[in-house]
Amino acid sequence: MNRAEARVDLNQISANITALINLSGTPVMAVVKADAYGHGLVPVARAAVEAGATALGVALLEEAITLREAGITAPILAWLVPPGSDFKLAVDNDIDLAASSIVALEQIGAVKSSKRPRVHLEVDTGMTRGGFLNEWGKLDAHHVSNIDIVGIFSHFARADEPEQEQNNSQRARFKEMVTTLESFGYTNIVRHLSNSAAILRDEDSRFDMVRAGISIYGLSPDVNNLGSSESLGLKPVMQLRAKLHLVKTVPANSPVGYGATAITKVQTKLGVVAMGYADGIPRIAKDAGVFFNGMKAPIIGRVSMDQFVVDLGADSTAVSGDWVIVFGDGSHGEYTADDWGRASLSINYEIVTRIGPRVPRIYAPHVY
């Protein structure tokens, strides 16, 4: 029996993707990088394609190869494949590659394969991270003579802040760079700019395809600026639960955990939860905890490598071996990934993505 489980509702993945397709009115690329944001790369990718996603997006080449080895034949774009990578492996496996530098284009174009490389040009429109910037004006026919340019894309820096002028300037810059590319004769290309936040709030940036990441997992890109999952028509997909390794009554004035950073104020029952920072529970977390029998039990003391302690309350009926919910969709009053993000001075993205490999993923049609 597992001591902890991340329970993933694949039916809800499908429902979220359907909602995003209907909202955007454009083809959806399901972003499944980072082990599908901690939800499980292959199962989520299969569910996404079955739900109507027209393509899959990953960061790393090895992620794309894993999908191909699992028998997934849908189009895949890998966008963090630096110069020096095994581009032939990508081309042989029908994996589209992102290129953001001339040296990358040259190396991709030098691949010897029975298949022609397919490339999406990544352009920097103002995030100042990946993408062509000063080299954009140096591109010529020589650099793309042995490849097919099939797409052009960029990434918003502040789409989760819809009122920011930078969104408008990035969109305008993207259109300019698309126009330049089209002037070279590349008119049958896929233009994609929107991430989850832009899908939800920016109709003008959807173009030919949108890239849905955090939203397919039912989480809001920014609770403060965009609203909750529920208000966005999404439902969180993952429920994280763990067993109480031990429940015991302790007296008032008992120091708890490393550094004795917390001391019980009254006699109470404490529960030792069988998860820790080695499993992805943030060591910094405060004002979060677990949910048991209709009640929240907050963390007390520091999170350890393999366990953390919660204050169940003097009247709790919990016993050693009981399951507790670390986070879920919040519909029963439990903590959510958003709550854990705030409690860790972070965001929901990090909470779900950092759940470690020691925690098995359990796939079920309905887990709540």
- Show which residues are catalytic: 33, 258
Q: Is 255 left (phi over 0), alpha (psi -120 to 50) or beta?
A: beta
Q: What are phi and psi of 309, to 5 degrees?
A: -110, 140
- Report the relative pairing of strands 262-263 and 255-256 from DSSP bridges: antiparallel
Token pair for residue 311?
Answer: 């204050």
User: Residue 230: in which H helix or E strand, if any?
Assistant: none
- Long-range contacts of 61-68, Cβ-Cβ distance < 8 Å, separation of 24 or more: 61/85, 61/86, 61/89, 61/90, 61/95, 63/32, 63/33, 64/90, 64/93, 64/95, 65/89, 65/93, 65/95, 66/41, 66/42, 67/32, 67/41, 67/42, 68/93, 68/94, 68/95
- Helices 10-24 and 41-51: angle between axes, nearest 10 degrees: 50
Q: What secondary structure letter does DSSP report for 185?
A: T
Q: Which residues contact 211 (CB under 8 A, 6 or more apart)?
A: 28, 29, 31, 57, 153, 192, 194, 195, 196
Q: Are 310 and 319 in contact (CB under 8 A)?
A: no
CA distance 346 to 284: 10
CA distance 43 to 283: 29
CA distance 143 to 103: 9
CA distance 101 to 104: 5
Half-sphere exposure of 8 (CA within 13 A, CB side): 25
Q: Are 351 and 284 in contact (CB under 8 A)?
A: no
Distances in Å between the Cα of 207 and the Cα atoms of 152, 199, 201, 203, 204 are 11, 10, 14, 9, 8
